[in-house]
Amino acid sequence: MASNNNNNVKIHEHTKVFPPSSTQKTTTPLTYFDIFWLRFHPVERVFFYALPNSHSHPSFFFKKLVPILKSSLSLTLKDFLPLAGNIVWPLESQEPIIQYTPNDGVSLIIAESDVDFNHVIENSPHDASLSRCFVPHLESTNSFASIISVQITLFPESGFSIGISTHHAALDGKSSTMFIKAWAYLCNKTIETEELPTLLPELKPLLDREIIKDNGLGDKFTKNWTEIITMMFPNEKGNERSLKILPFEPKLEDYVRSTFKLTREDLNKIKQMVLSKWELLDTNELTSKPPTLSSFVLTCAYSLVCLAKAIHGVEKEKEKFGFAFTVDCRARLEPPLPNNYFGNCVWGHLVDTKPLDYINEDGVFLVAKCIHEKIKMINEKGVLDGVSDMFDKFASLASEKLEMMGVAGSNRFGVYEIDFGWGRPTKVEIVSADRGLTIALAESKDGKGGIEVGLVLNNHVMNLFRTLFVEGLCIN
């Protein structure tokens, strides 16, 4: 039994899980949506599940629970075969591809932790590095990159966690959630019956990437990526065909991880505040006040303004901020893609705020208005409007020394519904939020229409953020 790099976790087994006997080599092309994320850091999520004492005893966990999770994972890979393969870049190819060969499988770690389970799942701030113990490393080298890796960790007498690292060039958040839901569904069926279960139609992935028409964007993105990588990571020059994930290192020292909740009532308060200011401050007759605002707009505007003001409050020299978010393009392409299209189908959009809007007294209104108008423009002009100058915009923002903020996850993924047969999760975290200035979203686990916001921040910044976040909701 080996220890990983953290004393809190002991590794019992490091193995590979293979799809049920498959002898067929398969290749899957990468689309321009995939190429954009080629060397981006993995998306790392962890699902924590409480268990009754009898089920969280090591003997039950290792003899019953782990074998069921393993066999159902193998069964799931039958329908999600590319996930067991690797991203490779053949010499004769202009672009990388996903390749599965019969010896390929998914890395799986079985571990045990002596950390207090209740401490790990609480929303209040705790050491940012703690959650990192429960997600596995995703292997990548110059010549190949793994697509997913999994870690199952027992917390004796308390529960277990499933940590999953996914390569963003192979699948987006919607697709990775679909895979985990498919695994959970088959795991439940494996517990219930001896017969080999099959997936529900909505959980069966559409793996055909040829249905996305390239329009020459793949070549352009590969070239643009090369330029941006050279600018951000000068040591990578001359290494343009490398598949090694770039070192977007997590921020851990003096950083804490925390989760905040916005209830349905909180969101209504923010909405009323924004719409009342819209009437007072927006004198442009061409942009009328909307009848309502989405939960996404309200959550982002409120959280981002609290975040920018907290950073500025602690580090006075940081006062310019920007925000970019990704949009699911499946229903927005011509022709639209089916909902079960599996891969990447998200595109990033910059919000047209002014750099000082986020620390403005009326910041929540200003930012909400800009996000709302950006979404309206996307709906009117198309989701790929402005694609060709996207990289130039990012480059110019980088030169302006803006603190760029982003968003991960979604309140529409339904992560708190994912039950492997022993109950729903007590906590879901996007661990990779610590690799950037990112707010991580999920639906509220009570199912009442609220939203969870996860953050990883410097200790002092988190303290101020919490004060601003809580006090801002105390409006009458």
Structure-token match 């991880």, residue found: 257
Distance between CA atoms of 242 and 239, rounded to whole angstroms? 6
Longest dimension (CA), the chain: 69
Task: Indicate if 148 and 269 belong to the same structural domain.
Answer: no
Instruction: Answer yes or no: is 250 within a domain.
Output: no
Name the DSSP letter for residue 61.
I
Question: How many structural domains compose the chain?
Answer: 2
Task: Indicate if 277 and 226 belong to the same structural domain.
Answer: no
Check which CATH number belongs to the domain holding 327 and give it: 3.30.559.10
Task: Take residue 59 and report the two structure tokens written for it.
Answer: 């003997």
Out of 206, 236, 266, pick the residue that ends a domain.
236
Task: Take residue 338 and report the two structure tokens written for it.
Answer: 């089916």
Instruction: Answer yes or no: is 325 within a domain.
Output: yes
Instruction: Answer yes or no: is 293 within a domain.
Output: yes
Instruction: Answer yes or no: is 245 within a domain.
Output: no
Instruction: Answer yes or no: is 242 within a domain.
Output: no
Task: Indicate if 274 and 168 belong to the same structural domain.
Answer: no
pLDDT value for 75: 95
- Residues with a known catalytic role: 168, 419
- Is residue 461 within 8 A of residue 311, CB to CB? The reply is yes
pLDDT value for 280: 84
Alpha helices in 193-263 (DSSP H): 217-232
Confidence (pTM): 0.95
Residue 162 to residues 68, 136, 146: CA-CA distances in angstroms? Answer: 13, 10, 18
CA 34-170-417 angle, to 5 degrees, is 120
Instruction: Answer yes or no: is 246 within a domain.
Output: no
Distance between CA atoms of 302 and 453, rounded to whole angstroms? 11
Task: Indicate if 350 and 378 belong to the same structural domain.
Answer: yes
Task: Indicate if 142 and 271 belong to the same structural domain.
Answer: no
Task: Indicate if 214 and 260 belong to the same structural domain.
Answer: no
Instruction: Answer yes or no: is 241 within a domain.
Output: no
Task: Indicate if 169 and 261 belong to the same structural domain.
Answer: no
Out of 187, 204, 236, pick the residue that ends a domain.
236
Out of 236, 270, 296, pick the residue that ends a domain.
236
Q: Identify the H or E element spanning 365.
A: helix 363-381
Sequence-separated (6 or more) residues with CB below 8 Å from residue 81? 19, 22, 26, 100, 207
The tens place of each residue's pLDDT in the chain, 476 residues long, gives: 343 445 689 999 999 999 997 668 999 999 989 988 999 999 999 999 999 887 888 999 999 999 999 999 999 999 999 999 999 999 999 889 999 999 999 999 999 999 999 999 999 999 999 999 999 999 999 999 999 999 999 999 999 999 999 999 999 999 999 999 999 999 999 888 777 889 999 999 999 999 998 777 767 776 776 677 777 788 777 777 899 999 899 999 999 999 999 999 999 999 999 999 998 887 676 667 899 999 999 999 999 999 999 999 999 999 999 999 999 999 999 889 999 999 999 988 999 999 999 999 999 999 999 999 999 999 999 988 877 777 777 777 777 889 999 999 999 999 999 999 999 999 999 999 999 999 999 999 999 999 999 999 999 999 999 999 999 999 65
Task: Indicate if 7 and 131 belong to the same structural domain.
Answer: yes
Distance between CA atoms of 159 and 137, rounded to whole angstroms? 22
Instruction: Answer yes or no: is 68 within a domain.
Output: yes
pLDDT value for 144: 97
Q: How far is CA 77 from the centre of its chain?
A: 21
Task: Indicate if 426 and 383 belong to the same structural domain.
Answer: yes
- Is residue 299 within 8 A of residue 350, CB to CB? The reply is no
Domain interval for residue 444:
255-472
Residue 6 to residues 1, 46, 111, 433: CA-CA distances in angstroms? Answer: 14, 17, 12, 20
Task: Indicate if 193 and 281 belong to the same structural domain.
Answer: no
Task: Indicate if 309 and 228 belong to the same structural domain.
Answer: no
180, 119, 465, 279 alpha-carbon torsion, rounded to 10°? 50
- Is residue 444 within 8 A of residue 261, CB to CB? The reply is yes
Distance between CA atoms of 473 and 124, rounded to whole angstroms? 18
Length of the chain: 476
Task: Indicate if 294 and 204 belong to the same structural domain.
Answer: no
Select from 211, 232, 169 the least CA-distant residue to 391: 232
pLDDT value for 115: 96
Distance between CA atoms of 387 and 218, rounded to whole angstroms? 12
- Is residue 137 within 8 A of residue 150, CB to CB? The reply is no
